[in-house]
Structure 1
Amino acid sequence: MRRIDLGFLILATATLLVGVGMGVWMGLTHNFHFAPVHAHLNLLGWTSLAIFGLCYRAYPALAGSRLALPHFALAAGGAILFPAGIALSISDITMEVAKLGALLWALAVLLFLVALVRLVLAGRAKADAGTARALAA
């Protein structure tokens, strides 16, 4: 069984470290120009990725889904590119990286929703089959 949960948690902790480092730097320098980058690193990177990892840990069938790895790839790309793109946008370099990161993130969230709905429907189908067997007995 692949440990997608640990992949999410390791990446979440790495983004937390970068976000905390940015927060410390902003506090020490009193330069809060990149506060949106800090916020997105903590929200997408730490919070959302950690919640995804904990969900995969809590529901092993979800981790075994063929959607788990594409979800991780999209979420990882989005969680890294979106804050980086915001920094590039704030610096008046380009907005394209932020757009790509936002798109990857949105696709990751949509894929996670699809995986959750499939998990619920599969569980409901198993429960219905078990009820039908019990009634037939």
Structure 2
Amino acid sequence: MIKKRTKKKKGSTASESHFGVILEDIDSKLDLVVDGHAALDVKFTKKFEEVNEKLGEHTWILKEHTKILGEHTEKIDNLTEMVAKNTEDIEIVREDIEIMKTDLHIIKNDLKEKVSRDEFRALEKRLTLVERKLAYKA
């Protein structure tokens, strides 16, 4: 800052001279305050620019994360649909298995009522023997 020099007038009184000294002292201190303010302004401007730059980086990162989250949400939605379809398919298969169990139970009971081939052959032989005996007696 440019310092102002006051010219002393001849014939000024001591109080005027003292007042002039006080004014110069206040003026120099005010210059220091103004210089400090300017330095702080530069520092604040620099910090503000740094914060804005970081904010821009973080904004970009947040946008990227938002995009990734959107993709993941879409994948989760697709998986949810697949799970729902698989659940329906499993229910259909479960119903089909129940029907098959019932059919198998019926077939088992039917087989229990029927004779096997070996039993059938044995019965044929016995019948043939009985028929021969009856034919022989008759």
Q: Same fold (TM over 0.5)?
A: no
Higher relative contact order (CA 8 A, sep 6+): 1
Q: Which has the larger radius of gyration?
A: 2
TM-score bucket (shorter structure): 0.3 to 0.5
